[in-house]
Amino acid sequence: MKFKQTLNASLLLAGTLLLGACSTLTSTPDETYDGLVLVPESRFGAVYRRPDADLTGYKSYGLVHCDVAFKKNWQRDQNNTRLDLSSRVTQKDVDNIRDKLGEQCDKYFREALEQAPPYKLVEHFSDGQPVLVLRPAIINLDIAAPDTRSAGRSQTYTTEAGQMTLVLEVLDGTTGELLVRVIDRARTGDRSYLQWTNSVTNEADARRILGRWARQLRQGLDEATAKADTSK
């Protein structure tokens, strides 16, 4: 089932092409390479929508597992600054971070959609069903100082900010047509002072960002589907 495939090359390309454009309003393109048009004054960094897209009328919604991709060469760059071999970032560390963040993304988005009045989420759906499909992905994940939990590890202090970018695509389950693409880059905050960075602080930063994205998704979807009005 194509909606449940892992993050593919086209999604990565879409995020990469638009990342730089989202940094400033003046450089944000009015239309994407695949015919979606910029929505003005959105809650996210950039929202693109197919001109004839209609998100009303759907009775069921599908939430695809959130894929996570690190910034290019992130693991290599991290290890270049670690003289102690025992503190190097391993592939296991990368996989653990990616899996945990993907699970947290699923959790926050699902909880937001299940708040009253809840959306009807279907656990299993196949191509051709009248379902509005939400396909989130996190790309360009850049953690400033990951905690590798090595034996005898020393504390790490940094002024650097981590970042990650949400690419959320909304598709029609019947035709597979892409209706909306959301792109939002979030940073953990630039610091002018040293701060101890470890798995606890990194996870707290991630939860704050995911919580904000989940709230924005719910608010935007309520408006697009007129759910807020029908619930009154």
For 197, the domain range is 2-53+62-225
% pLDDT > 90, the chain:
53
pLDDT in tens, 16-65: 444 444 444 446 789 999 999 999 988 899 999 999 999 998 999 999 99
Q: What is the pTM of this model?
A: 0.81
Domain assignment present for residue 153? The answer is: yes
- For residues 2 and 77, the model is more confident at 77
What is the reported pLDDT for 148?
A: 64
Averaged pLDDT of the chain: 81
Q: List, for residues 196-216, the tens digit of each pLDDT value.
A: 455 667 788 899 999 999 999
**By percentage, how much of the chain surpasses pLDDT 70?**
73
- Two tokens at 219? 């608010």
Taking CA atoms, 13 is separated from 9, 139, 177, in Å, by: 6, 11, 18
- Cα of first residue to Cα of last residue in the chain, in angstroms, is 36
- Residue 232 lies inside a defined structural domain of this protein: no
Could you tell me if residue 23 is inside a domain? yes
Structural domain contains residue 231: no
Q: What is the pLDDT of residue 125?
A: 77
> Rounded distance, CA 190 to CA 188, Å?
7
CATH number at residue 122: 3.30.160
> With 0-12 CB in 10 A as exposed, 13-18 as middle and 19+ as buried, what is 203?
middle
| Domain tally, the chain | 1
- The pLDDT of residue 67: 97
